[in-house]
Amino acid sequence: MRFTNYKSIASAGRNKFDLASIRAIPMRAVAIDLGFGLTAGGTGRCRIPGHEDRNPSFSIRSATNRFTCYACGENGDVIDLVMKMRDISFVDACEWLTGRHLGGASVRPEMRQRPADREAAAKQPPIVPAKTEHAAAPDHEAFEWLLLVSKLSSSGYDYLASRGFSAETIAHFRVGQIGDRGEAMKTAVARFGLERLRRCGLVCDGKFGNRFVFPAGYLLFPFIIDGNIAYLQARRPDSGTQWRWLCPNSLLPPVFNRSALSDSTATISICEGVTDVISAHELGIPAIGLVGANARLDDTTLDLLRGRNVAIFGDRDTAGSRFARRLVDRLAGMGVTAIPKRLPLGANDLNDHLRRIKGIAA
Ligand SMILES: [Zn+2]
């Protein structure tokens, strides 16, 4: 961490703050206040100065109230985020957070906001702190049920075909599609109860009360680990860019398509995201995927990679080469040699490449 030298500068000032209360201000509220656009699951594009994030690499872990950017590597608590975003000192960040999110309550009178700051803060809408929730955990039964009742419609099928995926591939990955959002929520609540749906992230706080995290028409991609659905990622069934990917609230994605490691395939590829893994499969390349917001390999997956040849397909951009470099290093540390693969010229990712081969216009 780079913020170790503030101690001497701030030792006098930091005593004036209730650091425990400041650090407990919900990360989500602070990030939104700082201009981040976040999904229900707490991920979004990183806006930390110096990082132009193309994929949603910024992620909040509500259990620890910390943020991580899996592309630029920055991480920390709410104070760290404010320091980074506003380029201010530890003491100033504490002051800013106290003034905006704790109503100035935990600051001594002489440390209260300057009038100009107070005016600026008054112009902002009030921030409602998120309720503390039970630790989130996947719910195999609820996820399996949702996928079973969410049958792929012709619009979803057409969209997937436009990405170059065959009917066999679509069936292999068990892609589903949310029907009516309200109906899905109602039947899910009747079957599992609200608490259980909140715990597995399918229901979260919305503007008008409880909200089902996946909108109507969204495609559902199950992440299957040892035969159970451990995670569901949802994607818009069209080329719109807003809310392109949605995921369960507060759950971190495991590796996608880990069953590709269940046989003894000598060469395995690692891709960025769901679409590229499915593209790789369509191209006859066995692959697992790391989802942008959580580009990490768990220990079981690392064990399963040992003794194989590992190829890495990152996107053709700086985030993609960073993804590949970080994986090569991580795997080298575990004794696994991985080779970054170059995409054919003109293809930005594996899906581009697939569509070119199939003669589908991008
Ligand atoms: Zn970043």
96-105, 116-125, 237-246, 276-285, range with the lowest pLDDT: 116-125
What span, in angstroms and rounded, lies between the C-alpha atoms of 134 and 198? Answer: 9
User: If you measure from the C-alpha of residue 101 to the centroid of ligand 1, how many angstroms do you get, rounded to a whole number?
Assistant: 24
User: If you measure from the C-alpha of residue 231 to the centroid of ligand 1, how many angstroms do you get, rounded to a whole number?
Assistant: 24
CB 51 within 8 A of CB 69: yes
User: If you measure from the C-alpha of residue 147 to the centroid of ligand 1, how many angstroms do you get, rounded to a whole number?
Assistant: 32
Mean pLDDT of the region 284-294: 82
Has residue 117 got a pLDDT over 80?
A: no
User: If you measure from the C-alpha of residue 112 to the centroid of ligand 1, how many angstroms do you get, rounded to a whole number?
Assistant: 31
The reply to whether CATH 3.30.420.10 applies to domain 255-362 is: no
- How would residue 208 be classed by pLDDT, with cut points 50, 70 and 90? confident
Within 174-310, where are the H helices?
181-192, 194-199, 274-282, 299-305
Superfamily of domain 136-252: DNA primase, catalytic core, N-terminal domain (3.90.980.10)
Q: Where are the domains of the chain?
A: 6-123, 136-252, 255-362
The CATH number of 6-123, from 3.90.580.10, 1.10.10.60, 3.40.190.80, 2.60.40.10, is 3.90.580.10
pLDDT value at residue 315: 85
- How would residue 326 be classed by pLDDT, with cut points 50, 70 and 90? confident
More confident residue, 318 or 97: 97
User: If you measure from the C-alpha of residue 48 to the centroid of ligand 1, how many angstroms do you get, rounded to a whole number?
Assistant: 6
Within 175-296, where are the H helices?
181-192, 194-199, 274-282
- How would residue 206 be classed by pLDDT, with cut points 50, 70 and 90? confident
